[in-house]
Structure 1
């Protein structure tokens, strides 16, 4: 499921970033495959604020729509919001 569709306040594991190499800053801040994230806020124009190991990252709509996440083990996949 895309990070942009993931529900607020729910934890997920990042499967792949799907973003170009020029956005390596997110990786430097801990957003990489295998990391656990939690969406803390949605912005007015479709951006997403995520918590990654205590660090808050603001992602634009395009970046959030390229990042794929999955539920943590034992947690069911949320229903699609579409």
Structure 2
């Protein structure tokens, strides 16, 4: 099992776990989207920007990219 550091890493970080982490990360993003947009909108209003909440929501959803399982390895590596 511990013949190489990479094999040891993949033993403790199997592909199934990457997929689970990516799925839960995307779920968390969607569950907290409204709260995040409300804070962003409030900050823009405090600065005096004239924008709508819908515009802030649209911008946030367009900029967000779904987290893919292989990206979890990039973060760890």
* TM-score (norm. length: structure 2): 0.22
* TM-score (norm. length: structure 1): 0.21
More helix by share: 2
